[in-house]
C-alpha cells in the first residue's frame, strides 16, 4: 500500500524517526525528536480531516482553513526539530 499526500509525508516522518533508533542518536535527541514527532502528528490529523470534509460537504471551507493551520504548525515543528537536531549532532562531533 502506497501512501500519498499528507498521509504519506506524516507516515514517512514517523518511519524516519523509527529508523533513527538504530543510529544511536536517540538518547541525545529526545527533545528534538519530540518536535519532529509532533509535526508528524499534525500532518496525520490533517489527512484525517480531509476524509471528514469529503463525507460532510457543509464543513469543507472550515476544514480547509484548519488544514492550512495544521500544515503551518507541522512545518514549523519539523523545521525546529530538524535544526535543533543538526545543531546537537554537529556540536557533539568535535
* pLDDT tens-digit profile, the chain (94 residues): 577 888 889 999 999 888 888 877 787 888 889 999 999 999 999 998 888 888 888 888 899 999 999 999 999 999 999 999 999 888 877 6
C-alpha cell at 44: 496525520
pTM: 0.84
Domain of residue 40: give its range.
5-92
Encode burial over 9-40: b for 16+ CB neighbours within 10 A, e otherwise.
bbeebbeebeeeeeeeeeeebeebbebbeebb
Q: Tell me the helices (H) and strands (E) count for the chain, helix number first.
A: 3, 0
Overall domain count for the chain: 1
Amino acid at each position: 500500500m502506497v501512501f500519498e499526500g499528507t498521509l504519506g509525508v506524516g507516515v514517512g516522518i514517523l518511519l524516519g524517526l523509527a529508523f533513527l533508533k538504530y543510529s544511536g542518536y536517540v538518547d541525545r535527541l529526545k527533545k528534538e525528536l519530540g518536535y519532529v514527532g509532533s509535526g508528524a502528528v499534525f500532518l496525520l490529523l490533517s489527512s484525517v480531516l480531509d476524509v471528514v470534509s469529503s463525507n460532510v460537504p457543509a464543513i469543507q471551507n472550515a476544514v480547509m482553513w484548519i488544514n492550512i493551520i495544521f500544515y503551518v504548525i507541522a512545518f514549523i515543528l519539523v523545521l525546529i526539530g530538524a535544526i535543533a537536531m543538526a545543531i546537537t549532532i554537529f556540536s557533539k562531533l568535535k
